[in-house]
């Protein structure tokens, strides 16, 4: 087998190739990847590192913060604020954006992240991950409003899943590549390129306990999957739900499937549970770059114009033909 590429080599080739990756963006990706290695070390310590359990505080979402949520957030902030590549950062764990301190040079990028997604799984040793999205600062003083750009404006997106392997999945708009952390070298090594999601699947991911709360098109879609071979789909389906978006989406990036967190009537005024800016948009960029589709059930997620930093959205993403079927059912009402 030919020698595998390091993340650095891959990024330098993207800089020279069609992507024409700007050096500041290459630096940003290398810094985020290094931060993810640091987060992986803390995550992997578990009970040995006094990093489990809650931190005794709540985030802007009103969710109890885990110690590792805060550790991961701090690792990403500290790693990125001095490099001169960023104008500001926004995080699920912070009410407002974090401007680069004035004693550091400002850059042209805006970094958004969910520092540790799926944190309800931390204490039970189930895969979790970091999700990140990169936008360009359009100029002027950096504020929360600077970040309110549609997902189509993203110049880079990725996640790092902390599971049996620590794997970084990345797009800069020219396909999707995967890098696995080689712990002996301490560096990410390329393990997949030009990732493609099959257009069809027999596997759906949704939290079935919410069934009674869904609207009719989602109930219809899931009911037909459950009818299997005898029903209108003419094939049996399997179900997976890890309750960690990074892990569920990584499975879909690896073998196809459909991931759904739809609107439900428990909180009728909220469009959904998941966050648009630092969960749904970066995952949508990756999914679309791998040939999949991503909507809120009705429209392309990446075309939604955000109104506020922590906006939520309904999510239907993965194998193209399945996502389009759900959209069709919404059109039929
Ligand atoms: P539920 C994790 O808290 C998260 O934001 C996503 O990673 C995950 O897909 C979803 O919530 C799980 O939600 O309601 O099944 O616990």
* Beta strands 203-205 and 258-261, pairing class: parallel
Cβ(257) – ligand 1 distance below 6 Å = no
pLDDT of residue 61: 75
- d(C-alpha 251, C-alpha 198), whole Å: 12
The sign of the torsion formed by the CA atoms of 113, 37, 78, 53 equals positive
319 annotated binding-site participant: no
Gap from CA of 133 to ligand 1 centroid (Å):
19
- What is the DSSP code string of 142-201? --GGGG---GGG-SEEEEEEESSSEEEEEESSS-EEEEEEETTTTEEEEEE-S----S--
Gap from CA of 244 to ligand 1 centroid (Å):
6
For 33-66, what is each residue's pLDDT tens digit? 999 999 999 999 988 887 777 888 888 777 778 7
- d(C-alpha 266, C-alpha 241), whole Å: 20
Across the chain, which distance is largest between two alpha carbons, in Å? 66
Residue nearest to atom 2 of ligand 1 (CA): 118
Cβ(243) – ligand 1 distance below 6 Å = yes
For 216-275, what is each residue's pLDDT tens digit? 999 999 999 999 999 999 999 999 999 999 999 999 999 999 999 999 999 999 999 999
How many helices (H) does the chain have, and how many strands (E)? 7, 17
Pocket residue to mutate for ligand 1, from 92, 207, 261, 276, most atoms within 8 A of Cβ: 261
Averaged pLDDT of the chain: 95
pTM for the structure as a whole:
0.96
Residue nearest to atom 10 of ligand 1 (CA): 243
Residue 211's alpha-carbon distances to 223, 232, 260, 330, in angstroms, are 10, 20, 12, 16
pLDDT of residue 112: 98
Interface ipTM: 0.98
Q: List, in order of start, the domains of the chain with CATH numbers.
A: 7-192 (3.30.540.10), 203-332 (3.40.190.80)
């Amino acid at each position: 087998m030919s020698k595998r590429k390091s993340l650095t080599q891959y990024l330098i080739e993207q800089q020279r190739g069609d992507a024409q990756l700007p050096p500041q963006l290459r630096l940003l990706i290398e810094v985020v990847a290094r931060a993810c290695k640091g987060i992986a070390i803390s995550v992997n310590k578990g009970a040995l590192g006094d990093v489990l359990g809650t931190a005794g505080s709540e985030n802007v979402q009103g969710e109890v913060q885990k110690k590792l949520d805060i550790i991961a957030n701090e690792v990403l902030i500290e790693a990125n604020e001095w490099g001169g590549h960023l104008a500001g950062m926004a995080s699920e764990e912070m009410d407002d954006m974090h401007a680069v301190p004035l004693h550091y040079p400002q850059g042209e990028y805006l970094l958004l992240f969910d520092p540790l997604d799926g944190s309800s799984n931390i204490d039970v040793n189930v895969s979790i991950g970091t999700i990140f999205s990169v936008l360009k600062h359009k100029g002027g003083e950096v504020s929360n409003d600077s970040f309110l750009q549609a997902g189509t404006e993203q110049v880079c997106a990725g996640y790092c899943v902390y599971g049996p392997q620590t794997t970084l999945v990345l797009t800069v708009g020219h396909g999707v590549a995967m890098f696995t952390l080689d712990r002996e070298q301490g560096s990410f090594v390329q393990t997949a390129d030009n990732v493609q999601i099959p257009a069809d699947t027999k596997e759906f991911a949704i939290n079935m306990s919410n069934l009674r709360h869904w609207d009719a098109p989602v109930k219809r879609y899931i009911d037909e999957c459950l009818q299997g071979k005898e029903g209108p789909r003419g094939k049996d389906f399997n179900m997976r739900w890890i309750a960690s978006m990074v892990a569920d989406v990584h499975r879909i990036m690896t073998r196809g499937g459909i991931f759904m967190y739809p609107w439900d009537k428990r909180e009728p005024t909220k469009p959904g549970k998941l966050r648009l800016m630092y969960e749904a948009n970066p995952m949508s960029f990756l999914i679309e770059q791998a040939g999949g589709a991503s909507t809120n059930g009705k429209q392309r997620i990446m075309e939604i114009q955000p109104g506020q930093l922590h906006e939520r959205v309904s999510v239907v993403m993965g194998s193209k033909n399945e996502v389009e079927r759900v959209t069709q059912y919404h059109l039929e009402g």
